């Protein structure tokens, strides 16, 4: 925080930084201007009143000249000293409200979701809005913020819902007027969906590579096979306990969309039955208590996909392959959504148009892996 004699030209020259910053006026104690990452500037007063710190926005520098801001600030500060300050709504900084929202709502989020959301909050949202009064954030502020992220569209699209949740909860807590969410209607960046699935030839090459590694890395090879044979998410298989496997089914306790049951095919059951039951976990970590960490499987997959000449394929594409084959086999979108654990069948619709020859080949190739 710095101090300077504020003038119109000097304020005009205050450029935005990555985080909000304040410049206090040396000519009027308790008066200053806050510069936001968006470039917006807000006049404010700060003082002590009845033993507590008072920080109030006086006005927006875009719509209020400096002389008017000083007059209002002088009147407010004088009223505070006389204990005659007008009743103003208590200001709450965005960063404080965001922490409150994460504290209260984060308990309902999965640990992984909470971690990702907090990372986006700290990296893309707080630097821009952290020092703003939650009630002052307008649609144009959100639009400028979103436009500033055009170089990282994925981060923009994932951060926008987090910001919207914070604004919506601010309404619930009474910090903003009802129906005032400035994120409503913000158009997301269009990202081309990555619909990668394995062809017959790729599946055959992958099967051969897994066969070669099975003797040395039985659990890691089994992990990849189960992804292909169940369509489960990587974390759902990686954190399997033997108690989750019974009656030919997987009873997932903590799937991404909540508890669910996965019916297993004969080949999938055979893969599980081939593994030793020497630990609570199906894929136990050799170095610590608990299941193997995701990085172990990622490293194995990196080697396998290179040998199978499918270097652009991700582990998640095993799930895409399973879904595409289910659709091609004649399963309805609703049924496939249940197989995948999608709460919204609309999420599954992206697979419904995959009816070209390459998908048919993929189905044949997967059947070969299953041994049919």
- What's the fold here for domain 200-370? hpI Integrase; Chain A (1.10.443)
Q: Please compute the mean of the pLDDT values over residues 285-293 and round it to a whole number.
A: 88
Q: How confident is the model at residue 315 (pLDDT cuts 50, 70, 90)?
A: confident
Global pTM reads: 0.54
The answer to whether 25 and 11 are in contact (CB under 8 A) is: no
Grouping H, G, I as helix, E, B as strand and the rest as coil, residue 217 is coil
The predicted structure's pLDDT at residue 197: 80
Question: Looking at domain 94-172, does it have CATH number 1.10.150?
Answer: yes
DSSP class of residue 123 equals I
The predicted structure's pLDDT at residue 341: 47
Q: Please compute the mean of the pLDDT values over residues 39-50 and round it to a whole number.
A: 82
Determine how β-strand 2-4 pairs with β-strand 21-25. parallel
The predicted structure's pLDDT at residue 156: 92
Of the two residues 163 and 193, the one the predictor is more confident about is 163
Question: Looking at domain 2-81, does it have CATH number 3.30.160.390?
Answer: yes
Distances from the Cα of 66 to the Cα of 5, 8, 25, 73, 85, angstroms: 12, 6, 11, 10, 21
Q: How confident is the model at residue 93 (pLDDT cuts 50, 70, 90)?
A: confident
The predicted structure's pLDDT at residue 346: 46
Domain residue spans of the chain: 2-81, 94-172, 200-370
The predicted structure's pLDDT at residue 111: 82
């Amino acid at each position: 925080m710095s101090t300077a004699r504020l003038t119109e030209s000097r304020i005009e020259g205050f450029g935005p930084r990555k985080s909000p910053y304040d410049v206090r006026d040396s000519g009027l104690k308790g008066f200053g201007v806050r510069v936001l990452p968006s470039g917006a500037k807000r006049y404010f007063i700060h003082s002590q009143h009845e033993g507590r710190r008072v920080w109030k926005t006086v006005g927006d520098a875009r719509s209020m000249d400096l002389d008017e801001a000083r007059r209002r600030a002088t009147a407010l500060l004088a009223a505070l000293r006389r204990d005659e300050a007008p009743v103003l709504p208590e200001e709450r900084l965005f960063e404080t409200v965001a922490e409150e929202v994460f504290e209260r709502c984060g308990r309902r989020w999965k640990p992984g979701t909470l971690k990702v959301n907090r990372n986006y909050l700290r990296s893309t949202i707080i630097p821009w809005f952290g020092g703003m009064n939650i009630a002052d954030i307008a649609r144009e502020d959100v639009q400028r913020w979103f436009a500033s992220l055009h170089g990282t569209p994925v981060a923009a699209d994932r951060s926008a819902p987090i910001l919207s949740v914070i604004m919506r909860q601010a309404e619930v807590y009474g910090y903003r007027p009802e129906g005032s969410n400035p994120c409503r209607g913000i158009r997301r960046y269009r990202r081309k969906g990555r619909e990668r699935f394995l062809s017959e030839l790729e599946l055959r090459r992958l099967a051969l590579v897994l066969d070669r590694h099975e003797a040395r890395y039985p659990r890691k090879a089994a992990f990849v096979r189960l992804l292909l044979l169940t369509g489960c998410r990587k974390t759902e298989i990686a954190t399997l306990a033997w108690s989750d496997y019974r009656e030919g089914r997987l009873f997932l306790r903590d799937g991404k969309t909540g508890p669910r049951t996965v019916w297993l095919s004969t080949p999938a059951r055979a893969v599980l039955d081939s593994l030793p039951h020497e630990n609570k976990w199906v894929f136990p970590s050799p170095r610590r208590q608990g299941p193997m960490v995701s990085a172990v499987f990622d490293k194995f997959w990196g080697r396998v996909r290179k040998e199978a000449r499918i270097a652009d394929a991700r582990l998640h594409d095993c799930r895409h392959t399973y879904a595409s084959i289910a659709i091609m086999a004649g399963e309805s979108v609703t049924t496939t959504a249940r197989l995948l654990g999608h709460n919204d069948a609309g999420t599954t619709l992206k697979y419904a148009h995959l009816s070209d020859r390459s998908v048919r080949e993929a189905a044949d190739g997967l059947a070969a892996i299953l041994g049919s």
